[in-house]
Amino acid sequence: MLDYEMTPVVAATLNDLDEKRVMAFLSSRLRAGAPTRSLDQQLQTLGAARDTNGTIHPTVAGLLCFGNWPQFFFNHATILAGRLVGPLGTQIVDRAIIEGALPEMIDRVVQFVTRNTRHGLRIGDLWTARAQEVDEYPLDAVREAITNACCHRDYLERSPIQVKIYDDRLVIANPGGLLPGLDVAHLEGQHRPRNPRLAEWLHSLGYVERFGVGLIRMREAMAKVGRPAPEIQATPESFVLTLRRPGPVDVQAAAIVMAASTPSTVAEARPWYAQAWRQ
């Protein structure tokens, strides 16, 4: 059975793919001395296009990863990001509807998280007296979580990925639960992507590992800076990953100089290193 990501989009043409993006990717994949093929042939070999009744059309995956504007064909293939404040997160102080090809969207989500979370310095570590940069949420873990959401979401579900930054946690939710045979308790070390071609391409681009170590990498990145392990909730319809900021027990406020609390407006979204990070 053909995976949905490999389905040709007959309403699209090869002009809907960004040729520069495709060629840059192919150049990174081809070895020196590889036989020269036409772009059409390379796209079909890659899986970014398929021949349908004598006409070559981009595939779903091809548009999502290399398209000029994939949302023209898949208006649900977006990421909704928001910074929420208050006990219940009812006030929104920053929001974004993030569109584009998947690599571009991943980068823009990381930028959104960066500008809406705190960053500072840990003064002196166990080995040196040098100051060490500290992020409220390790960006390696954030990037891995966002990339996994893009790889594993169900693109047949007409809902966006959601990224919510609360006062005490970062929540990433994607439509589509776990594949049959997988469960939350045994995810580490498992590699069964819902969209294997997208996972392969994002791996080649350096965004994600393909060998089931994504959760392990996230957990290690969080532990390295004293954060709790990622929390996972899965239903048949969705997958939700939560990264929590330090609580009163695991914050060494005297040793960390951090930015002040979340800005009240987008214009005020600037680092402020004048006080220690305290709960």
The answer as to whether 83 is a domain residue is yes
In a domain, 145, yes or no: yes
Cα-Cα end-to-end distance for the chain: 52
Q: Quote the pTM value.
A: 0.80
**Which range has the top average pLDDT, 92-96, 194-198, 223-227?**
92-96
Q: Does residue 107 carry a pLDDT above 60?
A: yes
Under 8 Å between Cβ of 168 and 86? no
Closest CA to 217 of 239, 191, 188: 188
- pLDDT tens string 189-224: 555 678 999 999 998 898 876 656 777 888 888 888
Residue type, 93: V
Radius of gyration of the chain (CA): 21
Looking at the structure, do residues 169 and 114 belong to the same domain, yes or no? yes
Q: Which of 214, 221, 170 is nearest to 192 (CA)?
A: 214
Domain assignment present for 54: yes
CA 250/CA 151 separation, integer angstroms: 32
Domain assignment present for 269:
no
Structure tokens at 83: 């910074």
Q: What is the pLDDT of residues 143-152, one digit of tens each?
A: 999 998 998 8
- Which residue in 220, 219, 223 sits closest to 232, CA to CA? 219
State the Cα–Cα distance between residues 49 and 199, nearest whole angstrom. 17
Distance of alpha carbon 3 from alpha carbon 134, whole angstroms: 41
* 91 lies in the same domain as 46: no
Judge if 101 and 237 occupy the same domain: yes
- Does residue 215 fall inside a structural domain? yes
Domain count, the chain: 2
Residue 15 belongs to what domain range? 4-70
Kindly state whether residues 49 and 171 are assigned to the same domain: no
Inside any domain, residue 272: no
In this structure, what DSSP letter does residue 273 have? Answer: -
State how far the Cα of 276 lies from the Cα of 216, in Å rounded to an integer. Answer: 30
Residues 220, 94, single domain; the answer is yes
Neighbours of 276 (CB within 10 A): 15
